[in-house]
Structure 1
Amino acid sequence: MSDRYLSFVNSPWGRRLAQAVGLPQPLALQRHRSGQAGLVNPVILAGAGRLAESVQRLFSATDTVAATPATLRAPSTVKVQGAVFDATSVTDLPHLDELYAFFHSNAKRLGQHARVVVLGTAPEHCKDLPQAVAQRALEGLVRSLAKELRRAITVQLLYVAPGAEDALDSSLRFFLSRRSAYVSGQVIRLEPPVDSTTAIHWDTPLAGRRALVTGASRGIGLAIAQVLARDGAHVVCVDVPQAQQALQQAADSVNGSALPLDITAPDAAALLQAHVSQYGAFDVVVHNAGITRDKTIAKMTDAAWRSVLAVNLQAPLQLSQALLDHQGLNPGGRIVCVSSISGIAGNLGQSNYATSKAGVIGLVQGLAPRAAVRQVTVNAVAPGFIETQMTAKIPLLIREAGRRMNSLSQGGQPVDVAEAIAWLAHPASGGVNGQVVRVCGQSLLGA
């Protein structure tokens, strides 16, 4: 679905008109393309915390460092495409001045579509109260920068627990790349990995791995299958038997397999386990299938309530438990669920959908520590307004509001959700567990 306003304000005549009357001027996002370098380049590094050496080592290997300023106040006219500030050395409130000094001097140095990452220590891991307070304050700074910097610049905060220093690579490679174009203002916690990783081929990290994607015949599900296949996985595409033709086409397009299955059927778990017994356990499971049956609760039927909860919540819960209980996931496995901004903020006329998607967050938080014992991570993405067939049916004015009510002033694409899922599915993402990552352009709705 095309965004005519976005196209208009990025045309020469539309740009002049928007400037003249003060209309918003969002930039069309730059997304990752095959053959493109992974990390943005060049990147400026700052801060001297415990992660500085690990970060420097990553960039030294990929030749992307523009400069490491000797002082935080290092204004320059040379543009950079990224910035990483290691704030783990911020142990009290006066140390917050270091971040002010750096961003005050270097904000204008960031080019369009730049990527900014601040690294910190989660308050629960801090040794004393002043450090915990200062580290928690980073969240307000990061979320404000994500709204201020504009020009399609994204900003994230990664809290890295002691002992998780070696778990940084996959997250930095994601957030400092074009793959994270529609993710901004997020706070991610990295813990020591639940599994051990072997040598990783960063171009095809899922080579030799099996992935299951539900709701894979179209839309976001198809995009997920395509991105996981691009990263080397053999993708088993799942959808209802009624969609078998479209499902087979989707599976063929990614050189994967089609598995027609009603995930709400009483025997769904048994059928899936039979597939595992025949073809082998999965390394990645993505619970993407979802439906809407929108009405205010006063007008909603029992069937509309129950069907949405059955597909969106009950099926992921039952299938995840069955796979974990019966060795349906290999050690180092990844479960990724698709939640929604509606599950965080609620939405008019979507009490059933919001209930199911909030329940998905509860599933992630409750299952993650149990799965970690088996060296499996459980995470979720929470999309905002994504340009799909479903959102194309929304009335024009409501659709436009959904597109503009975020820091990037536009809707996301299915591939944005898929790229975030691919990061969470990555073999080197074992330190990301129990997290809910919003793919919403920093929506103004919700937390």
Structure 2
Amino acid sequence: MTDRYASFVRSGAGRALVKRLGLPDPPRLRRHTPGEPLLPGPALLGAAGGSRLAVQVGRILLDAGVELRDTPASSTPDPTTGRLPGNGALVYDATGITDSTGLRQLYDFFHPQARSVLPSGRVIVLGTPPAGCGSPREATAQRSLEGLVRSIGKEFGRGVTAQLVYVTPDGDAGTATSLEATLRFLLSGRSAYVSGQVVRVGTGTATAPADWNRPLAGQVVLVTGAARGIGAAVARVLSRDGAQVVALDVPAAGDALAAVVNEIGGTAVQLDLTGADAPARLADHLADRHGRVDVVVHNAGITRDRTLGRMDADRWDAVLDVNLSSQERINDVLLERELIPAGGRLVAVSSIAGIAGNRGQTNYATSKAGVIGLVDALAPALAGRGISVNAVAPGFIETRLTARVPLVIREAGRRMNSMAQGGLPVDVAETIGWLAWPASGAVSGNVVRVCGQSLLGA
């Protein structure tokens, strides 16, 4: 689906009109191309006094090929642009801030560098989870970081994203590996439409890949709803990253599903997940063909929109069954039969509708909020088996379904976020890919919005 407004804005006449009238100005987003550098320029690394992660983060950035600065390149702005020499990223370790008076260190770091971040650059702040802090004052200060990061995401513009990464103070080897995986994702073009998010890195089973360009090499991955849209994009991205993809969709989508698997060299399963025997049939297929499934991506979903007063019971039941109950049934069988091994990943697709609600979508919003509940419940329950559980919550994504939305609502969905544009299916797919990596095992219990920092539910 073409965003005609964004195309017009990028023309000469469009740019002049945007500046004159103060209209939304969608930036060109930097998306991932295999083999490209993580950043468009060097990273400036700073730390509050007494912080615990800066040295480790510096090593990660250097190992990833990032040019690292620990002091500003210059305090003199360019006389033409008024900007400091450009930074591809600002990375700040705030774990040393133990009370509210220490928050001044954030201003001292970010204020002089606010205009130095290059287009599609990155801002990452590292903190300690408030629940893991040693005192109420420290917890208060660390919680304050969320307001800083979300505000930066709305202020810096030009495709710059801002994220907060809480890292457990009681980490293990999995923590270190998953911190590296998280930084590599958030700094790269993979996270183009992810901003204003809080990611929690805990402990868990995590294995660094031999090649970060193929972080899913050797993994067997199931993707449901893979024939079109987001599901097809997920199948392509995970295959590109080295996975052996088992793509599933309903028999009616058989031709489209075949096209996807032929393109990526995967295998197809035509199955209606709402069938009484579907979980057992799927488990049998995975056991017979592969002996296991390392990653399960619950993407299959439907909408049957009506306001609640006008909605018939069939619409309610169908949406809840496909979007939520079928996931529970599949998980139960795969876990009971131990087809998901230690180091396995469950990744579910929720929605910002499940966070903020949406008029005319009570059934859909209920199901997607339930997906978040599934993550909250299963993540601690499966931690002992070395299985991580996370969800992504897309906002307005350019698909054939959103193309049917009335024009005014569609334009509002596109513009009401920090990027002033809709996301692409690949943006959701890249985020799912990161959560599926063997290196991301200490990232569990997270719900990551892929919404360009939407104003809805913010």
Q: Could you tell me the TM-score, scaled by structure 2's length?
A: 0.95
CA distance in 2, matches of 1:255, 1:67: 42
Determine which of 215, 221, 227 is the counterpart of 2:225: 215
Q: Distance in 1 between matches of 2:426 and 2:158?
A: 21
- CA change 1:75–1:336 in 2 (3 A) is farther
Q: Distance in 2 between matches of 1:75 and 1:284?
A: 50
Q: 1:241 to 1:199 in 2, by over 3 A?
A: closer
Note the C-alpha offset of 1:273.
1.3
Task: Map residues 25-424 of structure 1 onto 2, 5 A cutoff.
Answer: 25-48=25-48, 49-69=51-71, 77-164=84-171, 165-166=175-176, 167-193=178-204, 195-197=205-207, 199-279=209-289, 280-424=291-435
Aligned-pair CA distance for 1:225: 0.1
Shift of 1:66: 3.9
Residue 227 of structure 2 aligns with an amino acid whose one-letter code is S
Q: What secondary structure sits across from 1:187 in the alignment?
A: strand
Question: Is contact 1:40-1:64 (8 Å) kept?
Answer: no
Q: CA deviation at 1:322?
A: 1.3
What is the SS of the residue equivalent to 1:331? coil
Contact 2:398 2:425 in 1 (8 A): yes
Q: Is the 8 A contact 1:216 1:247 kept in 2?
A: yes
Deviation at 1:62, TM superposition (A): 3.1
Q: Which amino acid aligns with 2:94?
A: A
Q: Deviations over 1:126-169 (max 9, x none)?
A: 00111111000000111111101111110000000013351310
How far 1:67 moved relative to its partner?
1.4
Q: C-alpha separation between the residues in 2 aligned to 1:407 and 1:320?
A: 35
**RMSD over equivalenced CA pairs, Å:** 1.5
CA displacement 1:80-135 (0-9 Å, x = unmatched): 11111000011111111111111110011111111110000011000011111100
Q: Distance in 2 between matches of 1:27 and 1:332?
A: 38
Cα-to-partner distance string for 1:48-101 (whole Å, 9 max, x where unaligned): 510011111012223423410289x96762101111100001111111111111
Structure 1's 431 and 39: CA in aligned 2 closer, same or farther, altered over 3 A? farther
CA distance, structure 2, for counterparts of residue 150 and residue 198 of structure 1? 33
Distance 1:52 1:147 in 2: 25
1:423 partner SS: helix
- Once the two structures are superposed, what CA deviation does each residue of 1:171-196 show, in whole Å capped at 9, x if it has no partner? 00000011100000001111012x14
1:416 offset after TM fit, Å? 0.2
**242-251 vs 130-139, greater mean Cα deviation:** 242-251
Give secondary structure in 1 for the equivalent of 2:223. Answer: strand
Mapped to 2, the partners of 1:188 and 1:243 lie a distance apart of 35
Q: Say if 1:199 and 1:293 are closer, same or farther in 2 by CA, change over 3 A.
A: closer
Say which SS state the counterpart of residue 145 (structure 1) adopts.
Answer: helix
- Counterpart AA for 2:103: L
TM-score (norm 1): 0.97
Secondary structure of 1:156 counterpart: strand
Deviation string 1:377-408 (CA, Å, 9 cap, x unpaired) is 01000000000000000010100000001111
Unmatched segments (≥5 aa) in structure 1: none
CA positional deviation for 1:199: 4.8
Change (3 A) 1:426 1:75: farther
C-alpha distance in 2, partners of 1:104/1:361? 36
Following superposition, the deviation at residue 200 of structure 1 comes to: 3.3
Displacement over 4 Å in runs of 4+: 73-76
Letter in 1 for 2:147: G
Aligned partners of 1:139 and 1:62: how far apart in 2? 26
AA of the residue aligned to 1:15: R
Give the letter aligned to residue 354 of structure 1: A
Partner amino acid, structure 1, of 2:223 = V
Contact 2:62 2:68 in 1 (8 A): no
Alpha-carbon displacement from aligned partner over 1:395-440 (angstroms, at most 9, x marks no partner): 1010000000111111000000000000000111011101100000
Distance in 2, Cα, partners of 1:415 & 1:63? 24
Give the Cα–Cα distance (whole angstroms) in 1 for the partners of residues 333 and 437 of structure 2: 22
Deviation at 1:346, TM superposition (A): 0.3
Deviation at 1:270, TM superposition (A): 0.6
Which range is displaced more, 269-278 or 432-441? 269-278
1:13 aligned residue: 13
Between the aligned partners of 1:181 and 1:125, the Cα distance in structure 2 is: 30
> Residue 206 of structure 2 contacts residue 442 of structure 2 at CA under 8 Å; is this kept in 1?
no
Asked if the contact 1:387–1:413 (Cα under 8 Å) also holds between the matched residues in 2, the reply is: yes
Q: Report if the CA contact (8 A) 1:345-1:445 is conserved.
A: yes
Measure how far apart 1:35 and its partner are. 3.0
293-302 or 75-84: which moved more?
Answer: 75-84
- Is the Cα–Cα contact under 8 Å of residues 215 and 289 in structure 1 kept in the other structure? yes
CA distance in 2, matches of 1:182, 1:196: 25
Matching residue's letter, 1:2: T
Percent sequence identity over aligned pairs: 53
Provide, for residues 208-231 of structure 1, a one-character-per-residue CA deviation record: whole Å limited to 9, x for no partner: 110000000010000000000000
Q: 1:14 to 1:429 in 2, by over 3 A?
A: same
